[in-house]
Amino acid sequence: AIENIKGRRVWDSRGNPTIEVEITLENGKLGRAIAPAGASRGTREAIDLRDGGKHLRGMDVQKALHHLNHQIAPEFVGKNIEDQADLDQLLLQLDPSPLKSKLGGNAMVATSLAFLHASAANLDQPLWQRVSKLYGRTPSLPLPEIQIFGGGAHAGRRVDIQDFMVMVPGAKSFDEVMEITNEIYFAAGDLMKAKGQLAGVADEGGWWPNFDSNEEALETLVRAIEKAGEKPGDRVVISLDVAASEFGKDGQYKLALEDRDLSSAQLIELLGQWIADYPIASIEDPLGEDDPEGMIEFTKRFGDRVQIIGDDFLVTNAKLVKDAQQMGACNAVLIKVNQAGTVSEAIAAFEAASQQGWQSIVSARSGETEDVSISRLAVGLGAGQLKVGSFTRSERMAKWNEVLRIQDQLGAGAFVQGAPLHNTFWA
Ligand code: PGA
Ligand code: ZN
């Protein structure tokens, strides 16, 4: 049973305050988790409660911490740690507001994840194993999406597109994905250096996108894949997070880099051109969160060729996933536990996706920490795919490295070559 819940302020990869929750059980076992923070957030995701005002640029989390220590913690002392659904249900009763604005999604997600950690510790199980047993899933090693260039809200909008990533569905093991991606990442850096474009990294550790157009980023990525000795579209494919809600509203999009306004139909044309010209196998948020018609049209036209992931569009919400399935919008969902606010709600979104044969991609946020819960969650759920940012910076590498540790426990055979990308042009 739970003896104590304590929240403390710690700091994330962008230097902002965030919340860590530590749960102590009566037998001395411990569960601990840290809330991440997004920069390109969906309007329908759980609220990341910040203090506002001038101190720490408004980013402090004292209000959420106060709720945690005074409203949440006392309710859970003495409660059984085994039933995650019950614990999350009680959290939801304490804050029934739709976006968790009362207690703060950041306080809630760290608490909910800490429950999961504590229950695993209580049973002396690794978290991935606890998750797999709790939710009746076969564990597997995920296929990573790894950022090579950051953009959008993670790079001062230097380019419009937020993530230029690679996936290596043709690798034989998770370990081999890491190796091939390392070669591509540094090949991209070399290409930029040769053109005088190298200027550090963006928020998630991908190269700062010193490019004149979104297409130049795509071209450079293709060159980097070649320079790394790979044939683009063979073992290695491109994945984009357009994060279109960041530059579009009501079906009108503004490409800042080219000072060009696009209708929903024109953005679909442009992305369709990229799909034809480059070996793109996956696109996230190609249209805005408020443009379901655009998303339906895009899915109709390209859903048989590329994985279409809803992030801001679905915000890890089971109901929105089901609605999208009905409408024929997207064919995959990004799973960010903090968008939902509790583990149980995130699992519900994952299960809604799986039931209709959708793929799921467990994802980090752009503001991250040493917390590696999501790596273990991705493995335990057998989610198939994992997105945590680039191939540098320890808040990112910690998550890839954790999968390598689990690989040693599960065996390299737990990586299923290409499987998560069936239905797309790669297969
Ligand atoms: P974030 O966005 O900055 O809100 O974490 C990451 C993403 O769009 O996938
Ligand atoms: Zn996204």
pLDDT tens digit sequence for 129-175: 999 999 999 999 999 999 999 999 999 999 999 999 999 999 999 99
How large a percentage of the chain has pLDDT more than 90?
Answer: 97
143 alpha carbon – ligand 2 mean position (Å): 17
41 alpha carbon – ligand 1 mean position (Å): 6
Q: What is the mean pLDDT of residues 351-357?
A: 97
Residue 419 is predicted with a pLDDT of 65
Residue 268 carries which DSSP code? H
Mutate-to-test residue for ligand 1 from 160, 311, 330, 369, highest number of ligand atoms within 8 A of CB: 311
Cα–Cα distance, 253 to 244 (Å, whole number):
8
3-state per-residue secondary structure call for 279-317 = CEEEEECCCCCCCHHHHHHHHHHHCCCCEEEECCCCCCC
336 carries an active-site annotation: yes
236-257 pLDDT per residue, tens: 999 999 999 999 999 999 999 9
Which residue's entry shows tokens 């968008």?
A: 339
Binding-site entries for Mg(2+): 241, 284, 311
Strand partners, 334: 361
Q: Does residue 38 have its Cβ closer than 6 Å to ligand 1?
A: yes
Q: Would the pLDDT of 422 be above 60?
A: no
Of 20, 45, 145, 204, the catalytic one is 204
Of 29, 100, 336, 399, the catalytic one is 336
Q: What is the mean pLDDT of residues 196-219?
A: 97
102-113 pLDDT per residue, tens: 999 999 999 999
Compute how many other C-beta atoms are within 10 angstroms of the C-beta atom of residue 356. 12
47-98 pLDDT per residue, tens: 999 999 999 999 999 999 999 999 999 999 999 999 999 999 999 999 999 9
Q: Would the pLDDT of 427 be above 80?
A: no
Cα–Cα distance, 192 to 185 (Å, whole number):
11
Cα–Cα distance, 130 to 329 (Å, whole number):
33
Compute how many other C-beta atoms are within 10 angstroms of the C-beta atom of residue 195. 12
Q: Does residue 243 have its Cβ closer than 6 Å to ligand 1?
A: yes
Q: Which atom of ligand 1 is nearest to the CA of 162?
A: 8
Split at pLDDT 50, 70, 90, the class of 420 is low
Please, what is the average pLDDT of the chain? Answer: 96
Cα–Cα distance, 235 to 181 (Å, whole number):
11
Distance of CA 117 to the CA centre of its chain: 20
Q: What is the mean pLDDT of residues 229-234?
A: 95
Residue 333 carries which DSSP code? E
Angle between helices 264-277 and 292-302 (to 10 degrees): 30
Residue 267 is predicted with a pLDDT of 98
Residue 418 is predicted with a pLDDT of 78
Binding-site entries: 162, 241, 284, 311, 336, 365-366, 387
How large a percentage of the chain has pLDDT more than 70?
Answer: 98
Cα–Cα distance, 368 to 352 (Å, whole number):
26
Split at pLDDT 50, 70, 90, the class of 258 is confident
Cα–Cα distance, 11 to 13 (Å, whole number):
7
Residue 208 carries which DSSP code? P
Q: What is the mean pLDDT of residues 271-290?
A: 97
354 membership: H or E segment, kind and range: helix 343-355
The distance in angstroms from the start CA to the end CA of the chain is: 48
Residue 417 is predicted with a pLDDT of 80
Q: How many helices (H) and strands (E) does the chain have?
A: 14, 14
Split at pLDDT 50, 70, 90, the class of 426 is low
Torsion over CA: 340, 46, 315, 201 (sign): negative
